[in-house]
């Protein structure tokens, strides 16, 4: 028997970097809660809730160097993130699977809308619809109540709602359960199906379970009606069942983007985040303590506190720089309108800031900016681009599928129109490739997708 010894390399993520990663991807609304947890566990930490903190701001062409200076030097040495730590932080081998992305219903819908051709007005209407959904995903508020007479009509409002109904989850923004069930039946069984005809014409009898009367009126077998009813019972009753509404209702923008006289200013919105201070009482005890155990305990907590302060500064700097760079790239969007939005890649921002793509991904995760056009999720500015095998065919097919799902079934999109839609999002595909992907998704040609008269 021969004993073989093999060496394996294992990367260890330091606690400093773990905390940096965690803080960077925490949205603004959760950061205060995180700091309160830290202060509860560490007696050295003190949180100060200011009535109005000073705001960091910069024009899109200004440098951000020296903007974040340490104002909390207490004369105590503490371990700070080393250069090697940040090199490891940007190392792709272990960062890629560090976190799982979760999406709320607002982000989920807006990410789909950005792949469709919506005018600035239609995007505004879509935002009104999405933020007016109830917890189940229904739009139970009458359109007349949500319509702004000077800006758009009820008909324009309804046109946008009809397109949203075909997004994922299917039936989102339905007026009620009846409409939601009808949409599901149409999608699953078709308008000519027994289930659809029963729901459309005899829903009153269906609610009373008068199956025999339905069978007689339709001149079909009783068992066929029962089978159709069983199929209907298996349908979902809430389009937003898998999504939490809390994050939609309580969004705190991380920055404001202000446009004045054709100039863009980015203002970091951190006045709601408490300041962190080191407790003077415990610092004095540390200074005078003779007992080794007491001094060791306090030293450990002082080190932890100062690392947290450094990491918060790093978080603030990275997020600010990323937002500034995004705004710089999207200058025409903010100055001229939605139609001037350009598709960005994480790599575009990462390369210019000399950071890892995953760092940018964390910096924009669940982060929002307040603009003249409303609150916008930073992820909205990033879209899939196709050129040199940048995106897998699987990703493209998913986008193509969503475009077809949202089309007007009375006037379905031709392959040429789909090519143009994809090109608007930075995806340069030939008509032949679109037709191939459509075929692989089992999506019929446009004339076969048209609603029957």
pLDDT at 223: 92
Number of other CB atoms surrounding residue 388 within 10 Å: 6
Contact 138, 241 (CB under 8 A): no
Give the model confidence (pLDDT) of 101-148 as tens digits. Answer: 345 787 778 777 766 667 888 888 888 888 888 888 999 888 887 887
- Do 94 and 110 lie in one domain? The reply is no
Number of domains into which the chain is organized:
4
What is the mean predicted confidence (pLDDT) over 76-100?
37
pLDDT at 437: 87
The answer as to whether 36 is a domain residue is: yes
Q: State the pLDDT confidence band at 338, using cuts at 50, 70 and 90.
A: low
Query: Is residue 385 pLDDT above 50, yes or no?
Result: no
- Do 268 and 225 lie in one domain? The reply is no
- Do 257 and 303 lie in one domain? The reply is yes
pLDDT at 82: 39
Number of other CB atoms surrounding residue 51 within 10 Å: 5
Mean pLDDT of the chain: 77
Contact 137, 240 (CB under 8 A): yes
pLDDT at 90: 42
Radius of gyration over every alpha carbon of the chain, rounded to an integer in angstroms:
28
The answer as to whether 388 is a domain residue is: no
The answer as to whether 7 is a domain residue is: no
- Do 23 and 134 lie in one domain? The reply is no
- Do 324 and 223 lie in one domain? The reply is no
Residue given tokens 């029963």 in the structure block = 198
Q: Tell me whether strands 368-371 and 255-260 are parallel, antiparallel or unpaired.
A: parallel
The CATH number of residue 151's host domain is: 1.10.10.1330
Nearest CA-CA partner of 146 in 163, 164, 158, 134: 158
Q: State the pLDDT confidence band at 384, using cuts at 50, 70 and 90.
A: very low
Beta bridge partners of 57: 267
The answer as to whether 155 is a domain residue is: yes
Contact 362, 99 (CB under 8 A): yes
- Do 84 and 186 lie in one domain? The reply is no
- Do 351 and 404 lie in one domain? The reply is no
What is the mean predicted confidence (pLDDT) over 312-323?
93
Which residue, 148, 174, 200, sits at the end of a domain?
174
- Do 255 and 350 lie in one domain? The reply is yes
Query: Is residue 321 pLDDT above 90, yes or no?
Result: yes
Query: Is residue 7 pLDDT above 70, yes or no?
Result: no
Q: Tell me whether strands 45-48 and 275-278 are parallel, antiparallel or unpaired.
A: antiparallel
Q: Taking the mean position of all CA atoms in its chain, how far away is CA 290?
A: 52
The CATH number of residue 430's host domain is: 1.10.10.60
Query: Is residue 161 pLDDT above 50, yes or no?
Result: yes
What is the C-alpha to C-alpha distance for residues 317 and 65, in angstroms, rounded to an integer? 9
- Do 298 and 368 lie in one domain? The reply is yes
Q: State the pLDDT confidence band at 210, using cuts at 50, 70 and 90.
A: very high
Q: How far is CA 8 from CA 5, 92, 305, in A?
A: 10, 18, 34
pLDDT at 446: 83
pLDDT at 57: 57
Q: State the pLDDT confidence band at 445, using cuts at 50, 70 and 90.
A: confident
What is the C-alpha to C-alpha distance for residues 453 and 450, in angstroms, rounded to an integer? 9
Residue with more model confidence, 216 or 439: 216
Query: Is residue 233 pLDDT above 80, yes or no?
Result: yes
Which residue, 158, 174, 190, sits at the end of a domain?
174
Q: What is the DSSP letter of 378?
A: G
pLDDT at 339: 57
pTM: 0.50
The answer as to whether 242 is a domain residue is: no
The answer as to whether 239 is a domain residue is: no
- Do 37 and 112 lie in one domain? The reply is no
Residue given tokens 């982060």 in the structure block = 367
Tell me which residue range forms the domain holding 216: 177-233
Query: Is residue 91 pLDDT above 80, yes or no?
Result: no
Q: Taking the mean position of all CA atoms in its chain, how far away is CA 432?
A: 32
DSSP string of 38-80, one letter each residue: HHHH-TTEEEE--SSPPPPEEETTS--TT-S------S-----
Give the model confidence (pLDDT) of 244-294 as tens digits. Answer: 444 444 567 889 999 988 899 999 887 778 888 898 998 999 888 888 898
- Do 287 and 371 lie in one domain? The reply is yes
């Amino acid at each position: 028997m021969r004993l073989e010894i093999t060496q394996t390399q294992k990367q260890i993520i330091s606690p400093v970097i773990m905390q940096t990663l965690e803080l960077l991807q925490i949205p603004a609304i959760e950061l205060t809660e995180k700091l309160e947890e830290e202060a509860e566990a560490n007696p050295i930490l003190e949180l100060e809730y200011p009535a109005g903190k000073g705001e960091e701001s910069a024009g899109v062409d200004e440098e951000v160097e020296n903007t974040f200076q340490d104002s909390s030097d207490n004369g105590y040495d503490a371990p700070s993130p080393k250069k090697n730590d940040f090199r490891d932080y940007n190392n792709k081998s272990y960062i890629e699977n560090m976190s799982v992305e979760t999406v709320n219903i607002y982000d989920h819908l807006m990410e789909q809308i950005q792949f469709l051709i919506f005018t600035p007005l239609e995007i505004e209407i879509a935002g009104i619809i999405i933020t007016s959904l109830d917890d189940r995903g229904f739009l139970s508020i009458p359109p007349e109540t949500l319509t702004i007479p000077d800006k758009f009509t009820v008909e324009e409002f309804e046109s946008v709602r009809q397109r949203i109904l075909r997004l994922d989850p299917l039936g989102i923004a339905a007026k009620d359960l009846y409409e939601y069930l009808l949409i599901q039946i149409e999608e699953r069984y078709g308008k000519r199906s027994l289930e659809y005809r029963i729901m459309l014409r005899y829903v009153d009898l269906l609610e009373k379970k008068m199956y025999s009367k339905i069978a007689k009126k339709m001149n079909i077998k009783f068992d066929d009606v029962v089978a159709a009813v069983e199929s209907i019972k298996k349908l979902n009753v809430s389009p937003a069942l898998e999504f939490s509404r809390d994050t939609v209702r309580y969004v705190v923008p991380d920055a404001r983007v202000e446009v004045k006289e054709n100039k863009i200013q980015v203002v970091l919105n951190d006045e709601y985040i408490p300041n962190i201070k080191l407790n003077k009482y415990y610092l004095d005890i540390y200074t005078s303590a003779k007992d080794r155990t007491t001094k060791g305990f306090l030293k450990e907590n002082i080190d932890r506190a100062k690392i947290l302060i450094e990491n918060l500064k790093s978080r603030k700097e990275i997020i600010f720089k990323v937002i500034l760079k995004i705004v710089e790239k999207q200058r025409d969007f903010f100055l001229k309108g939605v139609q001037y939005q350009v598709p960005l890649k994480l790599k575009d921002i990462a390369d210019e800031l000399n950071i890892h793509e995953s760092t940018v991904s964390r910096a924009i995760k669940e982060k929002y900016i307040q603009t003249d056009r409303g609150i916008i999720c930073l992820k909205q500015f990033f879209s899939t681009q196709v050129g040199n095998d940048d995106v897998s065919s699987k990703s493209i097919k998913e986008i193509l599928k969503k475009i077809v799902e949202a089309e007007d079934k009375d006037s379905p999109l031709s392959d040429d129109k789909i090519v143009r839609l994809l090109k608007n999002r930075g995806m340069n595909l030939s008509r032949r490739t679109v037709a191939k992907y459509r075929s692989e998704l089992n999506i019929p040609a446009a004339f076969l997708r048209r609603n029957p008269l």
